[in-house]
């Protein structure tokens, strides 16, 4: 394999403690399919920590979003409003059901959906709003929920980045009738590939269990509530193996240490870089007063694409990997098929060109982080 040019990569998953022990236990107990002991432990832990009526692990956040679209009975021709500056799955999950994604621009400060622009996009076909808590910083949920109430729309929070973040003292993921989490390798808490759907509206719980179990009432059968199970609804296979549940539970056991470690990394970047950033017209993350962030990411917004390209090269020359993020969805091939045009979401377009994410992972050592900050402050925007 060719030698990597990077000494400090962008992301590196790390174990928190009992991962291998719990996997061995799941294997020796001979329950490695879904909803075994460890998956159930993850689900109850998250329910208790977040105060959510029901949490179901899924194979990814993408699949949790697909479940949300099925649960909301999204049909051909329905419209779903979401930010253009997000991962493809936020849109794809609804497009798979035949919906039309309606792209909203983002706020220039938090890079979250611009709540002041949502109302203009609502039509009689709008069925749902899908805010994304970018970098684990809460969207303006008061405004979003009030619009949802006024127009009778469902809210699905894409909380892929935001586990344990809060808005006005309440956990992200507990505002919408549904919310989705990611446990992908890049996330604070991970099992490689994984996710969860948070069901805050109790009337959706039973159907969620069915959709996740191939459209059958197998969950009720396993609980002994019925004597055989059968096909009762649409569905697919959205539940992860308990091997992943075992890995994830070992991480969740240490969630407070993981969050404290990440807070430290985030704050170290912020204090080391603020002055340099201001002098170079580089924007650093803004955390509104009402938000407690999830410490998922530290990013910089360079003045323009050229400056970002130069900074990526500068970091690379020091063996450090800095990476950009989403391409605006309205300008993607599929986004354009839905009518997306340059200029529709100017803030998303600009952020996409200018954003750079810094190495950020639980085991990033202080001396490595110092190499990153030192390399950064030696860079000057031309």
Q: For residue 25, how many other CB atoms are within 10 A of its CB?
A: 15
The answer to whether residue 110 forms part of the interface with ligand PLP (CB under 6 A) is no
Applying CB under 6 A, what is the total number of residues that bind ligand PLP? 13
Residue number with CB closer to ligand PLP (62 or 369): 62
Nearest residue to 114 via CA among 153, 86, 91, 74 = 86
Binding letters toward ligand PLP, positions 61-90, x by CB under 6 A: xx-----------------------xx-xx
CA distance 49 to 64: 19
Q: For residue 146, how many other CB atoms are within 10 A of its CB?
A: 11
Helix 88-95 vs helix 61-71: crossing angle, to nearest 10 = 30
The answer to whether residue 251 forms part of the interface with ligand PLP (CB under 6 A) is no
From the CB of 99, what's the least distance to ligand PLP, in Å?
16
CA distance 160 to 184: 9
The answer to whether residue 55 forms part of the interface with ligand PLP (CB under 6 A) is no
The answer to whether residue 348 forms part of the interface with ligand PLP (CB under 6 A) is no
Instruction: Please give the residues from 193 up to 212 whose contact with ligand PLP meets the rule CB under 6 A.
Output: 195
From the CB of 186, what's the least distance to ligand PLP, in Å?
6
Residue number with CB closer to ligand PLP (104 or 273): 104
> Which span (40-48, 55-63, 66-74, 99-107) binds ligand PLP, by CB under 6 A?
55-63
Binding letters toward ligand PLP, positions 142-181, x by CB under 6 A: ----------------x-x---------------------
CA distance 202 to 283: 41
> Which span (57-65, 136-144, 166-174, 333-341) binds ligand PLP, by CB under 6 A?
57-65
Q: Exposed/middle/buried for 108, CB within 10 Å: 0-12, 13-18, 19+?
A: middle
From the CB of 306, what's the least distance to ligand PLP, in Å?
26
Cα radius of gyration rounded to whole Å, the chain: 21
CA distance 39 to 244: 8
Asked if residues 135 and 111 have their Cβ atoms less than 8 Å apart, the reply is yes
CA distance 35 to 50: 20
The answer to whether residue 126 forms part of the interface with ligand PLP (CB under 6 A) is no
> Which span (56-64, 254-262, 280-288, 289-297) binds ligand PLP, by CB under 6 A?
56-64
3-state helix/strand/coil string of 139-197: CCHHHHHHHHHHHCCEEEEECCCCCCCEECCEECCCCCCEEEEECECCCCCCCECCEEE
From the CB of 19, what's the least distance to ligand PLP, in Å?
18
The answer to whether residue 355 forms part of the interface with ligand PLP (CB under 6 A) is no
Residue number with CB closer to ligand PLP (154 or 156): 156
Footprint of ligand PLP on this chain (CB under 6 A)?
Answer: 60-62, 86-87, 89-90, 132, 158, 160, 182, 184, 195
């Amino acid at each position: 394999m060719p030698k990597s040019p990077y000494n400090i990569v962008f992301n590196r998953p790390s174990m928190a403690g009992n991962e291998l022990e719990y996997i061995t236990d799941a294997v020796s107990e001979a329950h490695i399919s879904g909803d075994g002991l460890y998956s159930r432990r993850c689900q109850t832990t998250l329910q208790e920590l977040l105060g959510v009526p029901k949490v179901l692990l899924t194979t990814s956040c993408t699949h949790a979003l697909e479940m949300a679209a099925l649960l909301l009975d999204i049909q051909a021709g329905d419209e779903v409003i979401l930010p253009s500056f997000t991962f493809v799955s936020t849109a794809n999950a609804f497009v798979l059901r035949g919906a039309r994604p309606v792209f909203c621009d983002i706020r220039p400060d938090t890079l979250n959906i611009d709540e002041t622009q949502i109302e203009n996009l609502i039509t009689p076909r709008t069925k749902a709003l899908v805010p994304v808590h970018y970098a684990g910083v809460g969207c303006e949920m008061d405004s979003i929920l009030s619009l949802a109430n006024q127009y009778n729309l469902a809210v699905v929070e894409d909380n892929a980045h935001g586990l344990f973040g809060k808005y006005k003292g309440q956990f992200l993921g507990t505002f919408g009738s549904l919310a989705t989490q990611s446990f992908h390798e890049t996330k604070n808490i991970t099992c490689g590939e994984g996710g969860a759907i948070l069901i805050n509206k109790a009337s959706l719980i039973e159907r969620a269990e069915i959709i996740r179990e191939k459209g059958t009432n197998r969950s009720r059968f396993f609980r002994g509530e019925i004597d055989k199970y059968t096909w009762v609804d649409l569905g697919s296979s959205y539940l992860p193996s308990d091997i992943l549940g075992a890995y994830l539970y070992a991480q969740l056991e240490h969630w407070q240490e993981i969050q404290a470690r990440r807070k430290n990394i985030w704050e170290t970047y912020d204090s080391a870089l603020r002055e340099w950033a201001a002098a170079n017209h580089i924007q650093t993350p803004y955390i509104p007063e009402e938000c407690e962030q999830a410490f998922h990411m530290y990013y910089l917004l360079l003045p323009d694409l050229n400056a970002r390209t130069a900074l990526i090269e500068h970091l690379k020359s020091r063996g450090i990997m800095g990476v950009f993020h989403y391409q605006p969805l309205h300008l993607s091939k599929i986004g354009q098929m839905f009518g997306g045009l340059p200029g529709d979401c100017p803030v998303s377009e600009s952020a996409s060109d200018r954003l750079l994410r810094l190495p950020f992972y639980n085991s990033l050592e202080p001396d490595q982080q110092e190499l990153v900050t030192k390399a950064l402050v030696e860079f000057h925007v031309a």
